[in-house]
Structure 1
Amino acid sequence: MSTAAMIPTGLPADPDSAPNSGVDPNTDKPRSDFKRTGRMTLYVRRFFRRPSAVVGLVMLVILLFFALVGSHLTKWAYDQPDFTALSDPPSADHWLGTTTGGSDMYALIIRGLGRSLSIGFISSIAITIIAAFIGTAIAYFEGAVEKVGMWLLDMLLVVPSFLLIALIISGSTGGNDWIWLIFGLTAFGWVGYARTLRTLTLSLREREYIKAAKYMGVPAFRIILRHLIPNLGSVLVINTVLGVVSAVNSETALSFLGLGIKAPDTSLGTLLNNGQSIILTAPWVLLFPSIVLILLTFSVQLIGDGLRDAIDPYSRSAGKAE
């Protein structure tokens, strides 16, 4: 008898070929092969399926590139004036022109962009961390802790944070204005965010796995850190990205009013403040920093919208997981 005749009908000759044959070797029925898609992979695919989000990401990457290495592309430093070129328009020697003091606008914008990005990202991340812990803790402990916590949040919301931040920065010395600005934005920026996270945590604290963890004697800090905050991850990511725009705008407003970054350092707000008085004689001093600020805020806003659609399962960009 031949070897082929000994093989039962309906079963593949080679078991390794079963996955490609479309037949389950155990049940002799057609089968479907499914490939598991991870959550992060799904988020990334949804994000890149939105063209505006990709455009925003490309714009932000370009801005980050110039903020990091842009100073090496020119011979001028932001604190190195050229006294032979005062209020000169854009030229081959000074690509974006010069200020009334002879400072190169390209070098100033690169320095200001880096400073504004540093303030925006650091303060936004710090605000998210503080708000996540305080907001979830107030909702988790309930009772008197929740009442006192909400009373403190309500009291802090009426504090004139803009003026207090200005006072903090005005008292700083030694050229560390940007550090004090981050401190001020962080100290007063988490309050409203914590109230939002507290509201979202109210439904999470009633879940079965939270009650089970309490019953098993798991410490409150571990429940907050390992169960509550991770389940708010999508909200935290989106608000951290959008918080960069808010922090940059706050820094720009303070610096524009002369209450933020001070000379010899610079930021986009400082450049806008310097350019407003000479807009008729040297419009490039105000125009180019304005364009960079618009591109920065617009790109981050597009990225935030893309992340919102990617994480939201009911969004239009969800599509198929393939």
Structure 2
Amino acid sequence: MLIHEAPSPHDEARPDARTGEVRSHSRGALVARRMARNPETVAGLLLLAVLTVLALAGPALYPWDYGQKDFTAFLRPPSAEHWFGTTQIGSDVFALSLRGMQKSLLIGLLVAVVSTVLAAAVGACAGYFGGWADRLLMWQVDLLLVLPGFLIIAILSPKLRERGFLILVGLLAIFGWMITARVVRGLTISLREREFVQAARYMGIPAPLIVLRHVIPHLASFLIIDGAISVSGAIIAEAGLSFFGFGVQPPDVSLGTVIAAGASEAVPHPWLFAFPAGLLILIVLAVNLVGDGLRDALDPASARGAR
């Protein structure tokens, strides 16, 4: 659990070897230096940057669109014209994969942001106010924890498919914040009696502002790490739902729908399945490496972050 009020004085100011002057470093610079010293984090950042640029700029540079069909090339293997080959109906697998990456990355990012904000708000309010507010909010958390989220999303998503993928984002976010909220609640309980919170209370600052300005900022390290890791979980959840037909709906595509379309032909025509599945693995791997790097960089007690 990460609660940081300020960087360590030894990290924040270091004497210059030539002038003897003490130079102060911002928290962001310290985190950036720690991440830069971690080769796995650098590799994850580079991989994620390449995949993101490819997903965003690739469709504009590649001659085929995900909605186009080449009626002279059915189930063709990878070639100079179709880099990842073609499907049974002549669609370009590379173009489909680029579109799928766009959708999967967008959904993962939106779900992580919404679920992290929900967890921070509910957990901090429950821990700070206590009493009936704590019991009511935690009762809602416990109720959502016992509900079968995957099954509920699978039932509701097809009925709301005409409203777009944002409905899927909302459903995934609703069932993805409860564990984090419980952790935030516990951390907030340990913070609410600290001197800086009591001082703000004695100054007459309203309780909601204390939570917003004094409690949540001290949980920022934990929330940033949790949010980064939640991106990969949301991408996997969306891909699983789309694979079974409950996520992104045609004519739009995600990596889950592209993988599902090629699963039945994975043995005789492996390019239909292997390329989009490989991209999904690379995205999740890159996000997890970045999340681990953030954890190590933001946690001074971490052995890897202290290197």
TM-score, length of structure 2 as denominator length: 0.91
Letter in 2 for 1:238: I
Hey, what does 2:280 align to over in structure 1? Answer: 293
Cα deviation, residue 256, structure 1: 0.9
Letter in 1 for 2:63: K
> SS where residue 189 of structure 1 aligns?
coil
Letter in 1 for 2:132: A
Hey, what does 2:171 align to over in structure 1? Answer: 184
> SS where residue 289 of structure 2 aligns?
helix
> Which protein has the larger Cα radius of gyration, Structure 1 or Structure 2?
1
1:109 maps onto 2:97 in alignment: yes
Hey, what does 1:27 align to over in structure 2? Answer: none
Q: 2:295 & 2:96 partners in 1: Cα distance?
A: 34
Equivalent residue in structure 1 for 2:42, among 51, 54, 63: 54
> SS where residue 24 of structure 2 aligns?
coil
Hey, what does 1:266 align to over in structure 2? Answer: 253
> SS where residue 113 of structure 2 aligns?
helix
Equivalent residue in structure 2 for 1:213, among 200, 213, 232: 200
Cα deviation, residue 175, structure 1: 6.7
1:247 maps onto 2:234 in alignment: yes
Q: Deviation string for 1:145-182 (max 9, x for gaps)?
A: 21222222112210111111122211124371x21110
Letter in 1 for 2:216: I
CA contact (8 A) 2:242 2:254 kept: yes
Moved more, 213-222 or 248-257: 213-222
> SS where residue 82 of structure 2 aligns?
coil
Hey, what does 2:22 align to over in structure 1? Answer: 34
CA contact (8 A) 1:175 1:265 kept: no
Root mean square deviation, CA, Å? 1.7
Cα deviation, residue 319, structure 1: 4.2
Unaligned runs of at least 5 residues, structure 2: 1-15
Cα deviation, residue 37, structure 1: 1.6
Say if 1:175 and 1:215 are closer, same or farther in 2 by CA, change over 3 A.
closer
Unaligned runs of at least 5 residues, structure 1: 1-18, 23-31
CA contact (8 A) 2:300 2:306 kept: no
Hey, what does 2:5 align to over in structure 1? Answer: none
Q: 1:147 & 1:261 partners in 2: Cα distance?
A: 36
Hey, what does 2:10 align to over in structure 1? Answer: none
Q: Deviation string for 1:115-155 (max 9, x for gaps)?
A: 00000001101111111011100000012221222222112
CA contact (8 A) 2:161 2:249 kept: no
Q: 1:262 & 1:226 partners in 2: Cα distance?
A: 41
In percent, how many aligned pairs have the same letter? 44
CA contact (8 A) 1:49 1:317 kept: no
Alignment of 1:1-322 (within 5 A): 32-174=20-162, 176=164, 178-319=165-306
CA contact (8 A) 1:254 1:269 kept: yes
> SS where residue 87 of structure 1 aligns?
coil
Q: Deviation string for 1:75-134 (max 9, x for gaps)?
A: 111011111101000011111100111100010000000000000001101111111011
Cα deviation, residue 21, structure 1: 10
